[in-house]
Amino acid sequence: MSPQSKSRKRKLGKAPGRRPEQRSPYGALLESAAALRSESWLLADAWASELYATLWLAGSGYAPMVEALKAMDDPAALTALRALAGVGDAETRQSAATAAEAVAARGVAEPDWYSAGAALEFRDAFLVTNLLGDVEVVAITQERAGAAETVLFMRQPVLGATAIELFATPDEGTVALLEDMIASTPDAFRDVITPLSATDVYDRVWPDVEQFWEDGPDEEAEEGLIGSEDVRHPVQLIALADARVSALVPQGYEIPAVSPERTDEVVEAFLASDHGVADVEAARAFARIVAAAAVEQNRDPVVYGPASLTAVLILNVAARVHVSDEDLALLPEIVRAWAYFTVDARDLPRDEARAAWDDELPTVLAEFSEAYVDPELVAERDGQFR
C-alpha cells in the first residue's frame, strides 16, 4: 500500500498533537542577513550576489522573495533588501530599492553600513595581461560612502570571464593590489600595468557579463556555489559585476564596433608580411577565417593568444568548414606564421613572444586535430576552407 493510500484517520487513544509551527521559507535568509547588519556594504553586496546566483541556478523567481521581504517589519529583511538593491540588472535593483524604502518608511532600523543616497563613483581602472594577452585581469575601483572597493575580472578573449573577485581597496591603491598579484604569481603576468578609462573597462568586460547570462548555468556554476574555497566561478559575483560595470557608462551608451574593413586590412598585412607560407591562397583562406571571427566578436584581429586561437580554430574551422587533407597538412605551418605575425603586429617582445608561441602551438594544434575528427562537429560543417 502506498503512503498516499493509507488511512489518514487519527488512531484511537491518542490525544491530538499540537500542530507544528510553520517556519518561514525565508528563515535562513533572514538569519544570514541579520549577521550582515554590522559588517560592510562590500560584504553585503557579495552576499546578495551569491543569493541572486542561487535563485538563478534554481530557476526561482526574484520577485516573490522581494515582495515577501517588503512585507516584513524586520531589520534583517531591510538589510537583505538594501544589499539586493546593489546587484543584478537595473530593473531588479530598482525593485529591491523600492521595497527597501517601503520597509524603512515603517521605522525599521537600517543596517549600520547603509548611507542614503550613496552611489558608486569611478576612481580608476587598470589592465594586466600575460605575455601573449590571452589572460587578462581588469581591475576597477569605485568609491561609495567613503570606502573604495575593487573588483578584479579574470577573463580570456573569446571565452569571457573565468573568475571575479572583490576586495576592499588597500590604502596604497589599486596599483599596489595589482603589484602584489603580479609578485605572488611569478611568470603568470607581464610586469606592465596599463591604465583604463571607465568606458575602456565597459567595452572590455560588459560583453562577458552579457555572454554569461545568455549562456545560462552549467555544472561548474553549481559547483561554484557549494562553498569550497577550491572552486572559483564567476557565477558567485556575476550579479554584482552586472551592477558595477553598468554603472561605468551613461544610459544609452553603445560599445564602438570594430569595422568590418579591419578584416581585409589584417589579411593583407599578414600576406604582405614575411610569413613564409608557399601556398599563399591557403594562407589567405586561414587569415580571413580568424580575422573575420575576431571582428564578429568585436575584437581586433591581431589580438590572439593560444586560448583564443584554439577556440576560434574549433568554433570557426572544425565546426564550420571542410578542410582538404592537403590543407590540413599545411595548417601547422600557417598557424605558426599567423602566431608570429600577431607578435609583430602587437609589438610584443619578439624573441620572448615567439618562444611562448612555440611552447603552446603543439597543444593548440593537437586540440584542433582532436576537434576536427569529432563526429558531432563533422556533422555541423557546411562550408569549405577554400
- The whole-number average pLDDT for the span 220-234 is 61
Q: Taken in order 265, 269, 272, 275, is the CA torsion positive or negative?
A: negative
For the chain, what percent of residues have pLDDT higher than 70? 90
- Residue 151 is placed in which grid cell? 573588483
Beta bridge partners of 47: none
The DSSP result for 54-69, as a single string, is HHHHHT--SHHHHHHH
With a cut of 60, say whether residue 129 has pLDDT above it.
yes
111-116-118-119 Cα dihedral, nearest 10 degrees: 100
Quickly state the pLDDT bin for 303 (edges 50, 70, 90). very high
Q: What is the pTM of this model?
A: 0.85
Q: 3-state DSSP call for residue 350? A: helix
Q: Is the dihedral of CA 32, 212, 135, 315 positive or negative?
A: positive
Burial-class residue 62 by CB neighbours within 10 Å (0-12, 13-18, 19+): middle
- At 81-112, the pLDDT tens digits run 999 999 999 999 999 999 999 999 999 999 99
Q: How high is the pLDDT of residue 157?
A: 82
Percent of the chain with pLDDT over 90: 80
Distance CA 301, CA 164 (A): 26
> In this structure, what is the dihedral angle of CA atoms 268, 302, 288, 314, given to the nearest 10 degrees?
160
Q: Which tens digits make up the pLDDT trace of 6-47?
A: 332 333 333 344 444 445 678 999 999 999 999 999 999 999
Tell me if 42 sits within 8 A of 147, measured CB to CB.
yes
Neighbours of 272 (CB within 10 A): 9
